[in-house]
Amino acid sequence: MKHQSETLLTTEWLTFSTKIQSFIKRLGIEQHVFECDHVALRANSTAKADEYRNFFEERGTVISENIINGRPILIIELDEPLSLGGMIIPCVELPYPSQKRYPQEGWEHIEIVIPSNAAECEHFTADVVDIIPNLKNTLKLTDSTNSDIKIKLSSPRGTHERLANPTIALKQKDVCIKLHPHSIKDIIDSELE
pLDDT of residue 139: 75
Dist. CA 29–CA 94, nearest whole Å: 26
Distances from the Cα of 47 to the Cα of 51, 131, 133, angstroms: 6, 41, 43
Task: Report residue 3's pLDDT band, with 50, 70 and 90 as the boundaries.
Answer: low
Number of domains in the chain: 1
Report percent pLDDT > 90 for the chain.
Answer: 55
Provide the whole-model pTM. 0.88
pLDDT of residue 156: 65
Task: Report residue 1's pLDDT band, with 50, 70 and 90 as the boundaries.
Answer: very low
Instruction: Write down the mean pLDDT value for the chain.
Output: 87
Q: How far is CA 7 from the centre of its chain?
A: 20
Alpha helices in 1-148 (DSSP H): 11-27, 46-57, 121-131, 135-141
What tens digit of pLDDT does each residue of 128-177 get? 999 998 888 777 655 555 678 899 998 866 555 567 889 999 999 889 99
pLDDT of residue 79: 97
Alpha helices in 28-134 (DSSP H): 46-57, 121-131
Give the residue among 67, 72, 113 at the shortest CA–CA distance from 91: 113
- Flag whether pLDDT at 74 surpasses 60: yes
Q: How far is CA 66 from the centre of its chain?
A: 16
Give the residue among 53, 179, 56, 167 at the shortest CA–CA distance from 110: 179
Per-residue exposure over 47-84, b if at least 16 CB sit within 10 Å of its own CB, e if not: ebbebbbebbeeebeeebebeeeeeebbbbbbeeebeb
Look up the CATH number of the domain holding residue 134.
3.10.180.10
β pairing state of 149-154 and 167-172: antiparallel
pLDDT of residue 32: 73
Dist. CA 66–CA 188, nearest whole Å: 9
Domain extent, residue 116, equals 4-192
- Flag whether pLDDT at 95 surpasses 90: yes
